[in-house]
Chains A and B, each alone.
Chain A
Amino acid sequence: MHRILKVAQREYIETAKTKTFIIGLLMTPVIIGVIIFFTKAISGGKAGPRPDIVVGVTDLSKTLAEDIKTSFDDYNKRNPNRQFLLQRLDIQQDANSTEAKGKTKLRNGQLNAYVVLDEDILEGPGKIRFYTYKPKPANVDAFWTIENFFRKAVENRRYEIEKIDKKLLARLRNVPLERLEVGAAEGREQVQSQGQRIAGMMVPFFFMYLIFMGMVGTGQHMLSSIIEEKNSRIIEVLLSAVSPFQLMAGKILGLAGIGLTVMTLWSAAAYAAASWQGLNVGVTPQLMVYFVIYYILGYLLFSAILTGIGSVCNTIKETQSLMMPVMLIFIIPMIGWFKLVQSPDGTLARALSFVPPVTPMVMVLRLAAGSNVLFVEIGASILVLAAAVLLVTWAAAKIFRTGILMYGKRPGPLEILRWLRQS
C-alpha cells in the first residue's frame, strides 16, 4: 500500500505540474466566461454600424404609406447603427408591371426586401407579401422587425375601422405574472427570474458535464503517463520496485486525485458564480454524496479501460484509434441530455442507468433533475457499476502486465484474448 501511495503521489504532483493540466484547469471556466461575456455584449447592442436595409413598398391599398414611414423613422432614430431606408414604388401603369419592376430591383440588389400590400388588406382576405432574393443571414433579424412594422400598421388601422379603443385593449391584454420560489421558511419568498428557471435546467447538465470532464480529462493524463513510461523505458526500472498491479493502482489513484481537484475547483467556481448572480442552485448534501460515489466508480471504470488501451499502444496517436469507440459510448448522454432532463424517469433514462460506462453520468443527471429515482434503482445501478469496475480492472490488469513490456507492433484482439486467459 505504501508503494501504491508513493506512485500515486508522484503521478499527482507531476501531472499537476504539466502545462496541459494547468491550461485545461483554467481554460474551461475562462472559455465559459468569455462566451457569456460576448453573448451579453452582443445582445446589449454594442455592435458597430451595420449596412442599411433598403425596403421597397408598393401599397395597393393606398392607405398605409404614412403609418409605415412613421414606424421606420422611429426605428432609425432609436438605432443609429442600422438604418432602414424606405423606397416607395407607386403604381404607374398597372399593379402587375409595378410589382415586376420591384422584383427586378430586388434581383439587381437595389432592394434588400420588397413588400406588396394587397388592395383589400384592411377589410378583405388580402396579404402582406414580403419578397426577398437570396437573403443574407445577417439581415434575417432585420426582416423580422420590418415584417412586424407592416403587421402593426395593418393591425392598428383595423382597430380604427372597427372602432376599438386601443388603450382599453392594452389594459385588457396586460395580465401581470410573478414567479415566486417559496423559501424554506415563511417570509423568505424570492422572486424568480427567467435566469433562475434556466439555471434549474442547467444544473443537472452541469453535474453530468463535471463527471464527463472528470473522467475524460484525467483519462488523457493517464494515457500520456503510460505512454511516457513505455517510450522512455522506465517501466522495467519501475517493475523492479513495484508489481504491475501496484503501478496501475497507484496511477489510477493519483489521477483520481487530479480529477477530484479539478471538479472541486470548477464546482466552487460555478457555485461562486451562481451565488454572485443570485441564482439558487438547490444542491442537496444527499446529491453530493451520490455524486462522489458515482464519480469514483465511473472514474475507476474509465481509467481501467484506459490503462488497458495505453499499455498496448506505443504512441498517443495509436491510442486515438482505440479511444474512438470508447468515446462514442460516453457521448450518448451528452447528446441526449435534454431528453433525459425532461423525462428523467423515462424508459431511455432508466435503461441507460444500467449501461455501466454511462451509468454515473445518467444517474447524476437524473438525481440532479429532481426525479423520484427509486432507492432500489440507485442501489442496483451502483452494484452493476461496481461489478463492471471489478471485471474491467481484472482484465485491464492482465493486459497491462503483458502490454507495458511490449514494444513495436500493437497486439491484435486475438493475442489480447490469449493474455486474458493466462494465469
Chain B
Amino acid sequence: MNAVTLENVCKSFGQVHAVDNLSVQVPAGSVYGFLGPNGAGKTTTIRMIMNIIRPDSGRIEIFQDGQIERVKNRIGYMPEERGLYRKMTVRKVLAYFGAIKGLDTKELAHRVPHWLQRVDLAGWADKRVEELSRGMHQKLQFAVTVINNPELVILDEPFSGLDPLNQDLLKNIILEMRNEDKTIIFSTHVMHEAEKLCDFILLINKGKSILDDTLDHIRSRQSAHTVSVELVGDTGFVETLPMVTAVKSEGNRLDVSLTDADTQQFLQALVQRAKVRAFEVKVPSLHEIFVNLVGASDAQNS
C-alpha cells in the first residue's frame, strides 16, 4: 500500500516550472528522502502534498484518498518556515495544535507532557515561545508536528538549525517512528543525514525527478567499481593486471578502477604477487552520487 502517490504533478509559478511532471510512490512504513539542490522543487512538492498549494495538473493521493482535507488528522507536517504563536506558552501552543488536529482533552492531558519530556522541554512548559532559543523552538515545532501521533510525517528540512546533540535526538525519534511502521518523508540537502535514515531516495533537480529508488539499489547501481588498496613492496605490476583500467596513486594508497570484474578476482591476483596491507571496496557516498547526477542533469539541460 502506498501512503502517498503523486501522478504527473506539475506546478508553475509564472515562467518557472517549479515541479515538472513528477510521479512518486511512497510505500507505507518507509522513510523517503526528498533530496535536491536549493530551489529544486522539494518544498513545492511537499506543499502540494499538504494541499497548501494546488498543482496545475496531475493527481495526488494520501492513504489512497484524493481529498487531503479528510486525512489531515493522520498527517504531521513540519514546514521549512518554522513559526509558532510567540506570546503563547509552550504548553498551550502544543495543546492548541493538538486540539485542531482532532485530539480531545483527555488525550492532550497525556500527550502534551509526554512530548515535552521527549524533546527535553518539560522545564520550559510555562515559558512563552518567544523566550525559547532557536534550537528549542525547532524541537517544539517538531513536537507540534507529531503531537497527533500521525501515520504519515512530512518534515521539510528537519535538521537545519539544530546542534549535533539535538540532531541525534531527532534522528532517534524518526527511527523509532519507523519501527512503529510510520511513513516518513523528509527533505534535505544534507546527504549524510539521508544516508543514515532513508529507505528510499527521490532526487529532484529543477522540478524533475532524476533518481527515484531504494538507497540499496542506488548504491549498488552507482558503484563505480573502485577499490582502494595498500601494498607492501613494488606496486608497478597492478597496472598490468587485465581487470584494471586505471590506477591513481596517493602515497602508499592506490585507487584502482576495475572493469566489470569481480573484486574478489582482483584481490586474488594481488595476493599472489604482493603482500596486501589494506583492501577496501569503495561504495560511493550519496554525496558523490548527488554531485554527479545533479551535475550531469545540469549539463544536459544547458
Show the binding face of A for B, using Cβ within 8 Å. Answer: 2-3, 6-7, 10, 14, 228-229, 232-243, 405
Contacts of B96 in A (CB 8 A): 6, 10
B277 to chain A, nearest CB (A): 55
Q: Can you name the residue of chain A whose Cβ is closest to the Cβ of B156?
A: A236
Q: Can you name the residue of chain A whose Cβ is closest to the Cβ of B88?
A: A14
Using an 8 Å CB-CB cutoff, how does the interface string of B79-111 with A read, 1 for contact, 0 for none? 101111111100000001101111000000000
Contacts of B85 in A (CB 8 A): 14, 228, 232, 234
- Top 9 A-B residue pairs of the complex, sorted by shortest distance between their CB atoms: A233-B83, A240-B77, A236-B79, A233-B81, A234-B83, A232-B83, A241-B100, A241-B101, A6-B99
CA A238 to CA B78, docked complex, whole Å: 10
Within 8 Å by CB of A237, from B53, B75, B144, lies B144
B79 close to A238 (CB less than 8 A): no
A6 close to B100 (CB less than 8 A): yes
B82 close to A233 (CB less than 8 A): yes
A248 to chain B, nearest CB (A): 14
B165 on the interface (CB 8 Å rule)? no
Contacts of B144 in A (CB 8 A): 237
B52 close to A239 (CB less than 8 A): yes
A3-B100, A6-B99, A243-B69 known; A237-B84 Cβ under 8 A: yes
A235 to chain B, nearest CB (A): 7
Jot down 23 A-B pairs with beta carbons below 8 A, ordered by A: A3-B100, A3-B102, A6-B99, A7-B100, A14-B85, A232-B84, A233-B79, A234-B83, A236-B47, A236-B52, A236-B77, A236-B79, A236-B81, A237-B78, A237-B79, A237-B144, A238-B100, A240-B52, A240-B72, A240-B75, A242-B72, A242-B100, A405-B52
B50 on the interface (CB 8 Å rule)? yes
CA A233 to CA B47, docked complex, whole Å: 14
Q: Can you name the residue of chain B whose Cβ is closest to the Cβ of A234?
A: B83
Contacts of B50 in A (CB 8 A): 239-240
Contacts of A10 in B (CB 8 A): 96
Show the binding face of B for A, using Cβ within 8 Å. Answer: 47, 50, 52-53, 69, 72, 75-79, 81-88, 96-97, 99-102, 141, 144
Q: How many A-B residue pairs have CB under 8 A?
A: 59
Contacts of A234 in B (CB 8 A): 83-85
B189 to chain A, nearest CB (A): 19
CA A238 to CA B83, docked complex, whole Å: 10
B241 to chain A, nearest CB (A): 58
CA A240 to CA B50, docked complex, whole Å: 6
A6-B100, A242-B100 known; A405-B53 Cβ under 8 A: yes
A6-B96, A7-B100, A14-B87 known; A241-B82 Cβ under 8 A: no
B83 close to A237 (CB less than 8 A): yes
* Most chain B CB inside 10 Å of its own CB: which residue of A229, A235, A240: A240
Contacts of A241 in B (CB 8 A): 72, 97, 100-101
CA A201 to CA B22, docked complex, whole Å: 69
Contacts of A238 in B (CB 8 A): 100
Q: Can you name the residue of chain B whose Cβ is closest to the Cβ of A243?
A: B69
CA A375 to CA B180, docked complex, whole Å: 65
A391 to chain B, nearest CB (A): 23
CA A235 to CA B69, docked complex, whole Å: 16
Contacts of A235 in B (CB 8 A): 83
Contacts of B81 in A (CB 8 A): 233, 236
Contacts of A228 in B (CB 8 A): 85-86
Q: Can you name the residue of chain A whose Cβ is closest to the Cβ of B53?
A: A405
CA A308 to CA B13, docked complex, whole Å: 22
